[in-house]
Structure 1
Amino acid sequence: MWQGILQAGLGLIVLLGFAWAVSEDRRAIPVRVVASAMALQFALAVLLLRLPPVTAALSWLNKAVEALRQATLAGTSFVFGYLGGGPVPFEPTAPQNMFILATQGLPLILIVSALSALLFYWRILPKIVEGFAWLLERTIGLGGATGVASAANVFVGMIEAPLLIRPYLRDLTRAGLFLVMTVGMATIAGNMFVLYATVLSPVLTDAAGTLMVASVISAPASVAIAALMVPGDYTGDAVEQPGPGEDATGAVEAIVNGTLAGVRIIVAVVAVLIVAIALVHLVNLFLGLLPEIGGFRVSLQRILGWLLMPVAWLIGIPWNEAGLAGELMGTKIVLNELVAYLSMAELPADALSPRSATILTYALCGFANLGSLGIMLGGLAALVPERRAEIVDLGPKALVAGTMACFMTGAMAGLLLT
C-alpha cells in the first residue's frame, strides 16, 4: 500500500512538472492559483473519500442510479420489447450479450437530460452551481465567468457549461478561455455520469459515488494544469445567466426541451462511437500487418498502452497491471471513456485489483478524447465565431491538459485510497 501511495505522490509531482515545462510563459504562472487549486483538490478528496458520513451519503448515489436505470428500462422495454430490457420470449444462448447499448444504455441520457432541465427550471441546479462557483472564487481566485463555467462543468456538458457565460466568452482572456476548455475536457456531464455508473456497477461496488467524486475533484486539478500551461488573468464579473431548461414557461416544457436536447446528445454519441471505432479498426488492420511484438499483435491501443504504462504506474497502479491500465487509458484517449469503461467492465475478475480498478475509474473519468475535442471545437466556435482561430489553436492543448488533470485525479485517489 505504501508503495502505491509513494507512486501516486511522485505522479502528482511529475504531472505538475510536465505542465510547467510546456507552459507558454513560465514567468507569468499564477502561483497562488496553482497552489490553491491543488490544496482545494486535496481537501475535497479527503472530505469525499475519507469522512465516513460523506462516503456513506455518496453510496446512496448508487441507489439513485439504480432507480433511474429501472425507470429507463420501464420505458425502453415498452418501446423496444426485449431489445430494451424487457422479458425475453425465448431461451437466450448467450445471455451475456443481451445488453444492447443503443436501446438499454444510451436512453439513460434522455431521462437524465430531462431531469436536469427540470431541475434547472426549478432553480435547484443553478443554486448548486452558484455554490461551487462561490467556493472556486473564494479559494482559488477565479472570476465570476470562469468560476461559473468551471463549476457547471461538474454537472452539465462541455458545451452546455459555456452557454451559461455566453455573453462573456468573447471578452475572456486567453488563459480564461483555455481554463474553460480544460475543465470541460477533465469532467463529465450528469447525463453521462448515470450511464457510466450503470456500465461499471457490475465491477465496481460504489460506481456512482466514485464517478461523482472524480468529476468534482477533477475541476480544481484542471484549474491547476490550465494555469500552468496557459497562465494569465482569471478575474471577471459575476454572472447571472439562464441555464438549460430555464427558458421554459413551465415544468412540462422544460422536460420536453431537456428530452429533445438528450436526443441530440445521443445522436452525437452514436455518431462519434461509430466513426471513432471504425477509424481505429482501420488503423489496427494496417498495424496488424506488422510483425508481432512479444507474442502480441500490434494495435493502436496496445501501442498507447505501452507508452502509458509509466503513467499508470505513477498514479499508483502496480507495474504488473500497468500494461492493461495503460491500454484502457489509451482507449479512452483515442476512442472515448465510454468504450474504455465498457472494456473495463468486460475484463476478467482478477485482471485488476480492486484498488487499481478504482484508481483507473478516477483516471478515465473525463471527456478528454479526440471525439470530444471535435465536439468542443465546433460548439465553442459556434458560440464565439470571432475567436474561432484561437479556439482551434488551444484545442490540442486543452486535450492534453484535460487528460493530465484526469490522471492527477487518479493519482490523488491513489494517494488517499487504502
Structure 2
Amino acid sequence: MKYLIGIVGLIVILGIAWLASSGKKRVKYRPIIVMIILQFILGYILLNTGVGNFLVGGFAKGFGYLLLYAAEGVNFVFGGLVNVKEYSFFMSVLLPIVFISALIGILQHWRILPFIVKYIGLALSKVNGMGKLESYNAVASAILGQSEVFISLKKQLGLLPKQRLYTLCASAMSTVSMSIVGSYMTLLKPEYVVTALVLNLFGGFIIASIINPYEVTDEEDMLEVQEEEKQSFFEVLGEYIMDGFKVAVVVAAMLIGFVAIIALINGIFSAVIGISFQELLGYVFAPFAFLVGIPWNEAVNAGSIMATKMVSNEFVAMQALAQDGLNFSGRTQAIVSVFLVSFANFSSIGIIAGAVKGLHEKQGNVVARFGLKLLFGATLVSFLTATVVGLIY
C-alpha cells in the first residue's frame, strides 16, 4: 500500500509542478526521468546499504569531530557553557557555524573548493540537461551558501534572462550550505541530512526543469566565475570567521522573532477558536504529508512541522520534531527529517532577493517579483525528496 500511495504522491507533486509550468511544451522529460531514477538509486544506497552507511557514518564522524573542536572555541569564550547540563541552542548549534565557516574560507583560499565545485558542476550539466552556469550554481550554493554564491557570479547577473535567474535562485533555496550542515546534525540523524542534501540537488533541477523550462545555447552558456580579490591567508580567515558569526547571530535573531510570533499566534488562535495556529496548519498540510508516505494517524502532527518550516524556518521545525511526545514511527521521522533540510521558507525570499539586489539592483527586483513562485518550487523540491525517501525507506 505504501508504494501505491507513494507513486500517487510522486505523480501529484510532478503534476502540480507541470500545472504551474511557464512552458509546458518546452519541458524536456528525458533528463527529468534520468534524475528521478538517480534520486531513487542514490537514496537507496545512502539509507539501505552497507556502503551508504559507511559513507554517511564517515561524514557524520567527521562533522562530529569538527563540532567537538568548535566547542573548544565556544567554551573558551563563554566559560564552558557548551558542557553544562542545560542545553543551549545558541551555544551548541549556532556558534559552531563560525568554525565551519572558517574551514570553508581556508579551503577556498587554497583553491580546493573551487576545483571541486567546478568539476562536480560540469558532471551535473551532462545529466540535468541544463547549462554549466546552473550546475555550477547548485553545487556552489551547497558549499558557499544561498547569498554568498551570487558574489562568485556577479559578472553575469546583469546579463541573465529571468528564466535562468529563477533557476539559480531556486537552487540556492533548495540546498543548504556546508556551514549549516553540522548544526543540522545536532538536531537530526546524519543519514537523513546527507540523503536530503544529495536528493535536493537533483530535485531542484527536476522541479525547475518543469516549472521553468528554457533552452540555453552554447554561446549563452559561458561560465565566468568572479575571482575573489587576492587576499592573504589571515585576511580570508578573518573574513570567513566574521561571516560565520554573522550567520549565527542572524539565525538566532530570526529564531527569537519567529518562535515568539508563532507562540503569540498560537495563543490567539487557541483563545478564539480553541485550536492553535500550528495545529490548524497541520490539518492543511496533512493530505500532502499522507501523499509523501506518512500514515494518516501521524499526518496532522507531521504536517504541522512541515508547515512550521515553511512559515518560519527549518531550525524552528527541527526543534519541534525533536520534542518529546510526538512518538513518530521511524519511517515518518525519516520523511519529515529530509523534508526539513532546505532553505525553503518565506524568510529566504528576502535573503536571496537582498543578496542579488546588493550586486545588481534591477535583477534583485526581478527576484523579489517571482519570490512566491520561488518558494512554491523549493517547497515542491522538499516534497519530492520526502516522497522518494517514503518509497525507499
* TM-score over 0.5 (shorter chain): yes
CA RMSD of aligned residues (A): 2.0
Query: Aligned-pair distance for 1:8?
Result: 2.1
Answering whether residue 157 of structure 2 is matched by residue 169 of structure 1, we say: yes
**Contact in 1 for aligned 2:106/2:233 (Cα 8 Å):** yes
2:27 alignment counterpart: 29
CA distance change for structure 1 residues 366 and 10 in 2, over 3 Å: closer, same or farther?
same
1:278 alignment counterpart: 260
SS in 2 for 1:199: coil
Query: Aligned-pair distance for 1:50?
Result: 4.2
Aligned equivalent of 2:65, options 61, 64, 67: 67
Q: Bigger shift: 368-377 or 106-115?
A: 368-377
CA distance change for structure 1 residues 173 and 109 in 2, over 3 Å: closer, same or farther?
same
Whole-angstrom distance in 2 between the partners of 1:290 and 1:133: 52
**Contact in 1 for aligned 2:40/2:392 (Cα 8 Å):** no
Whole-angstrom distance in 2 between the partners of 1:277 and 1:250: 40
Whole-angstrom distance in 2 between the partners of 1:127 and 1:231: 29
Q: Bigger shift: 311-320 or 156-165?
A: 156-165
CA distance change for structure 1 residues 248 and 216 in 2, over 3 Å: closer, same or farther?
farther
Aligned pair count reads: 391
Aligned equivalent of 1:336, options 302, 313, 331: 313
Aligned equivalent of 2:339, options 363, 366, 384: 363
2:13 alignment counterpart: 15
2:3 alignment counterpart: 5
Query: Aligned-pair distance for 1:274?
Result: 2.2
Deviations 1:45-85 (A, max 9, x none): 24433442233122112211221221122111221124x22
Counterparts of residues 119-158 of structure 1 (less than 5 Å): 119-158=107-146
Counterparts of residues 11-410 of structure 1 (less than 5 Å): 11-82=9-80, 84-86=81-83, 88=84, 95=85, 98-200=86-188, 207-235=189-217, 236-242=220-226, 247=229, 249-292=231-274, 298-348=275-325, 351-410=327-386
SS in 1 for 2:334: helix
Whole-angstrom distance in 2 between the partners of 1:256 and 1:165: 23
**Contact in 1 for aligned 2:108/2:114 (Cα 8 Å):** yes
**Contact in 2 for aligned 1:173/1:233 (Cα 8 Å):** no
Whole-angstrom distance in 1 between the partners of 2:222 and 2:33: 23
Whole-angstrom distance in 2 between the partners of 1:34 and 1:383: 32
Whole-angstrom distance in 1 between the partners of 2:259 and 2:162: 33
Query: Aligned-pair distance for 1:241?
Result: 2.1
Whole-angstrom distance in 1 between the partners of 2:337 and 2:46: 15
SS in 2 for 1:239: coil
CA distance change for structure 1 residues 47 and 239 in 2, over 3 Å: closer, same or farther?
farther
SS in 2 for 1:368: coil
Query: Aligned-pair distance for 1:247?
Result: 4.2
Q: Which amino acid aligns with 1:388?
A: G
The answer to which structure has the higher helix fraction is 2
Over the matched positions of the two proteins, sequence identity in percent amounts to: 30
Query: Aligned-pair distance for 1:400?
Result: 0.9
Whole-angstrom distance in 1 between the partners of 2:71 and 2:320: 22
Q: Which amino acid aligns with 1:225?
A: I
Whole-angstrom distance in 2 between the partners of 1:385 and 1:40: 38
Structure 1: 4+ residue segments shifted above 6 A: none
**Contact in 1 for aligned 2:97/2:248 (Cα 8 Å):** yes
Deviations 1:320-377 (A, max 9, x none): 11111111101111111111111111233x7111121111111111100112222112
**Contact in 2 for aligned 1:186/1:406 (Cα 8 Å):** yes
**Contact in 2 for aligned 1:175/1:233 (Cα 8 Å):** no
Whole-angstrom distance in 2 between the partners of 1:309 and 1:301: 12
Query: Aligned-pair distance for 1:381?
Result: 1.8
Whole-angstrom distance in 2 between the partners of 1:330 and 1:76: 33
Whole-angstrom distance in 2 between the partners of 1:406 and 1:56: 25
**Contact in 1 for aligned 2:207/2:380 (Cα 8 Å):** yes
Whole-angstrom distance in 2 between the partners of 1:178 and 1:234: 14
Deviations 1:367-391 (A, max 9, x none): 0011222211211222221223321
Q: Which amino acid aligns with 1:237?
A: D
**Contact in 2 for aligned 1:287/1:300 (Cα 8 Å):** yes
**Contact in 1 for aligned 2:47/2:53 (Cα 8 Å):** yes
Q: TM-score of the superposition, structure 1-length normalised?
A: 0.88
Query: Aligned-pair distance for 1:5?
Result: 3.0
Q: Which amino acid aligns with 2:37?
A: A
Query: Aligned-pair distance for 1:238?
Result: 4.3
SS in 1 for 2:272: coil
Q: Which amino acid aligns with 2:284?
A: L
CA distance change for structure 1 residues 248 and 54 in 2, over 3 Å: closer, same or farther?
farther
Whole-angstrom distance in 1 between the partners of 2:126 and 2:233: 34
Question: Gaps (5+ residues) in structure 2?
Answer: none
Query: Aligned-pair distance for 1:233?
Result: 2.6
Q: TM-score of the superposition, structure 2-length normalised?
A: 0.93
**Contact in 2 for aligned 1:301/1:327 (Cα 8 Å):** yes
Whole-angstrom distance in 1 between the partners of 2:281 and 2:293: 18
**Contact in 2 for aligned 1:174/1:232 (Cα 8 Å):** no
**Contact in 2 for aligned 1:337/1:364 (Cα 8 Å):** yes
**Contact in 2 for aligned 1:149/1:164 (Cα 8 Å):** no
